[in-house]
């Protein structure tokens, strides 16, 4: 009996860590997925909801010509473009699903076939062709061996390598010291933002005419302009912004008019940021799979925990082999496919007879 108990403890010690690690990893993956997908639905096209920030995909199978740029929602990527070559675009603001419109010629959307021929308010960039940054390279880049991180500009929403943001190494702030980035091209187009850079940028921007300790009073009466003085020294490059920088932007009538003319009025919307979108997405589920898994594991007895771990490891290997086929064929894994896998496991599962060991 003592020997059997010791074997059980050794097995649990060796394998329970693996299970806990997997549950932790799954919890992080689940949070990341919820953050990106937000309120996206995998069953219904978002077209009826109009223009909104959402996770998007470009289909190179349906739109092989680089001159035709289109984006489809999460549900359409599953139901209308299964097995196609898809480019994940992360999120884009104010975008309406293009699936089945004139950009797709005769191919109709199977979820919502009654769509306008064109979404006139949609904006497209080179990401819809599957390339990013000033270097116009794909991501991940098979020729890039440096592993340089990619950062998204909050205005044009393109992604840039940190080495291509027009900043010296000394001007690149620590990862946790900034909230958002505006690329050098957008900073050049919207020079009003440089007025705020000396106070709200995480980079080493110097301003000869304004004391950095002299903060702008954003509680000033409506109609009074609170825009800081423009720096006396011309600035260039990208800008890294500290947390809450958008709330410092002046919202007087004159500044609002300028934002509207330059089509950046969305910067005044507190719900526009990717951070706000991701936080809303993380609240999507009340209880994570990690929490459910830990509760289930804790409710089992000592021996049952070991059996559960044994069966879990077996299931993990089978699932890995099952998903490998989808990866090799470049197919999207649908909810139905996962259900089919577990249904097959249930039907093939044999009753396991446990023979208790006793002291002899």
Helix (H, G, I), strand (E, B) or coil at 245: helix
130 in Cβ contact with 87 (< 8 Å) = yes
Both tokens of 359, joined, read 């002291």
Read off the pLDDT band of 140 (50, 70, 90).
Answer: confident
Q: Look over the chain and give the mean of its residue pLDDT values, rounded to a whole number.
A: 80
Pairing of strands 150-152, 86-95: unpaired
- CA-nearest of 114, 99, 158 to 134 is 158
Q: How confident is the model at residue 20 (pLDDT cuts 50, 70, 90)?
A: low
Q: Which two tokens stand for residue 243?
A: 């947390």
**Nearest 10 degrees: CA dihedral of 336, 339, 345, 351?**
-150
- Per-residue model confidence (pLDDT) at position 275: 87
**What is the DSSP track for 146-169?**
S---EEEBTTT--EEEGGGSS--G
Segment holding 321, helix H or strand E = helix 302-328
Can you give the pLDDT at residue 220? Answer: 47
What's the average model confidence in pLDDT over 321-341?
A: 74
How many percent of the chain have pLDDT more than 90?
47
Q: Based on the number of CB atoms within 10 Å of its own CB, is 295 exposed (0-12), middle (13-18) or buried (19 or more)?
A: exposed
Query: For position 169, what pLDDT does the model report?
Result: 80
Work out the burial of residue 333: count CB atoms within 10 Å of its CB; fewer than 13 is exposed, 13-18 middle, 19 or more buried. Answer: middle
With a CB cutoff of 8 Å and minimum separation 6, the contacts of 191 are: 230
CA nearest to 44, candidates 91, 77, 82: 77
- Name 246's Cβ contacts closer than 8 Å, sequence gap at least 6: 267, 268, 270, 273
Q: pTM score, two decimals?
A: 0.69
Q: Give the range with max mean pLDDT: 28-42, 229-243, 248-262, 279-293.
A: 248-262
Under DSSP, the state recorded for 288 is -
pLDDT value at residue 211: 42
Residues in the chain: 360
Q: Which residues pair with 153 in a beta bridge?
A: 181
């Amino acid at each position: 009996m003592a020997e059997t108990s010791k074997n059980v403890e050794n097995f649990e010690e060796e394998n329970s860590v693996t299970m806990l690690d997997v549950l932790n990893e799954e919890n992080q993956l689940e949070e990341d997925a919820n953050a990106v997908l937000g309120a996206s639905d995998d069953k219904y096209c978002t077209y009826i909801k109009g223009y909104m920030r959402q996770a998007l995909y470009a289909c190179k199978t349906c739109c092989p010509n680089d001159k035709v740029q289109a984006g489809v929602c999460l549900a359409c990527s599953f139901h209308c473009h299964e097995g196609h070559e898809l480019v994940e675009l992360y999120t884009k603001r104010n975008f309406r699903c293009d699936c089945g419109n004139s950009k797709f010629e005769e191919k109709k959307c199977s979820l919502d076939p009654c769509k306008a021929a064109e979404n006139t308010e949609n904006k497209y960039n080179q990401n819809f062709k599957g390339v990013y940054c000033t270097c116009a390279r794909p991501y991940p880049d098979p020729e890039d061996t440096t592993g340089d991180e990619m950062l998204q500009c909050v205005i044009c929403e393109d992604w840039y390598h940190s080495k291509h943001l027009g900043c010296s190494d000394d001007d690149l702030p620590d990862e946790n010291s900034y909230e958002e980035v505006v690329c050098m091209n957008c900073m050049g187009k919207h020079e009003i933002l440089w007025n705020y850079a000396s106070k709200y940028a995480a980079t080493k921007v110097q301003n000869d005419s304004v004391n950095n300790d002299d903060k702008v009073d954003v509680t000033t009466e409506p109609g009074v302009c609170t825009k800081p003085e423009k720096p006396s020294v011309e600035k260039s490059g990208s800008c890294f912004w500290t947390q809450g920088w958008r709330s410092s932007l002046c919202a007087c009538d004159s500044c609002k008019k300028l934002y509207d003319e330059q089509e950046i009025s969305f910067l005044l919307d507190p719900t526009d940021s990717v951070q706000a979108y991701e936080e809303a997405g993380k609240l999507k589920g009340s209880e994570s799979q990690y929490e459910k898994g830990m509760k289930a594991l804790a409710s089992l007895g000592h021996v049952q925990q070991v059996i559960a771990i044994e069966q879990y490891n077996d299931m993990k290997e089978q699932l890995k082999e099952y998903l490998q086929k989808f990866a090799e064929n470049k197919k999207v894994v649908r909810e139905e496919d996962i259900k089919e896998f577990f249904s097959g496991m249930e039907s093939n599962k044999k009753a396991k007879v446990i023979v208790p060991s006793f002291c002899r």
